[in-house]
């Protein structure tokens, strides 16, 4: 019996200098992915990904297309070997790569979407200073309670529900700091994140309608492979529904924990993180029960690609 496979795509925070280089050197079709992404974005993505500097790579306007190009390149290498997913999902920015993997959007349109998303997010972050902190050790209900207490004083919200006890908050710096302090008093560990804006919060809501308008110009198809969405931790059945969910994703929390639990309900046994880093594999190991039967892979260079193919083909 073939085991059910999910392809997972990382987002911001998974980048590193040199990402995608090995596959770029190995495969013509990977070079074509980068060429296509560079043509659409007018950004020298291969140079940024392979050589940096990190300061330029991590600018939101560059980072969103760069991580996406590497995700698509890694996916191209997997697809070339005939490996298909039964379900797909992506973390925040990574959800756009998942849209392409599901057949809902073309890879060209994905590059246009993440370029626009990055530009709008950057614009809003220059208008409204924001911060994000990871809170480790409290449940979502406990963090929600603290957020509600502080929300009257200014913008603060849950950005990512990553694992049962790893939640990222987002908002105005003073309010994020206050929630963090209250969480620390309850024994949580808090980590300020290196981000340039309050992603997934009302502070970037000024761009939501504009992004929604841009989404309307992009042709979406019904997905060939089901995709679990960040906003709902559920599937969307048709293209209109997907557009609606993706418009909401801009300022809504990423329900990653619930999404991965949904993949467990679907009896997924092979999880393949396709793209730079190991962030999603790390989160999965904290989410899945110890006795849950599965294998977790990262695919982002020749060695990891070969190890994955050896196991499953």
User: Could you tell me the strand order of the sheet in which 270-274 lies?
Assistant: 87-90, 5-9, 270-274, 295-299
Which of 14, 200, 201, 252 is an active site residue?
200
Active-site entry in 92, 112, 201, 252: 92
200 is catalytic: yes
Active site residue 184: no
Give the residue numbers annotated as catalytic, written as ranges: 92, 200
């Amino acid at each position: 019996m073939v085991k059910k496979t999910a392809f997972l795509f990382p987002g911001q925070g998974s980048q590193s200098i040199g990402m995608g280089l090995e596959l770029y050197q190995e495969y013509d079709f990977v070079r074509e992915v980068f060429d296509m992404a560079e043509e659409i974005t007018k950004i020298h993505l291969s140079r940024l990904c392979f050589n940096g500097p990190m300061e330029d790579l991590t600018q939101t306007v560059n980072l969103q297309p760069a991580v996406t190009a590497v995700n698509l390149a890694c996916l191209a290498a997997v697809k070339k070997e005939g490996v298909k997913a039964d379900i797909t999902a992506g973390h925040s920015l990574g959800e756009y790569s998942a849209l392409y993997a599901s057949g809902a959007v073309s890879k060209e349109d994905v590059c246009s979407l993440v370029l626009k998303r990055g530009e709008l997010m950057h614009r809003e972050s220059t208008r409204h200073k924001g911060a994000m902190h990871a809170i480790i050790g409290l449940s979502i209900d406990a963090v929600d309670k603290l957020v509600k207490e502080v929300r009257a004083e200014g913008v603060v919200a849950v950005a990512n529900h990553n694992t049962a006890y790893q939640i990222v908050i987002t908002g105005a710096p003073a309010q994020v700091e206050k929630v963090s302090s209250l969480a620390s008093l309850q024994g949580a560990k808090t980590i300020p994140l290196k981000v340039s804006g309050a992603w997934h919060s009302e502070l970037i809501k000024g761009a939501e309608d504009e992004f929604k308008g841009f989404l309307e110009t992009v042709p979406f198809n019904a997905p060939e492979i089901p995709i679990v969405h960040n906003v709902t931790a559920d599937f969307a059945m048709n293209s209109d529904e997907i557009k609606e969910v993706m418009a909401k994703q801009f300022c809504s929390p990423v329900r990653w924990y619930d999404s991965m639990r949904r993949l467990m309900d679907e009896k997924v046994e092979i999880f393949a993180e396709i793209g730079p880093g190991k962030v999603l594999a790390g989160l999965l190991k904290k989410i899945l029960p110890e006795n849950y039967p599965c294998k977790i892979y990262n695919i982002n260079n020749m060695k990891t690609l070969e190890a994955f193919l050896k196991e499953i083909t």
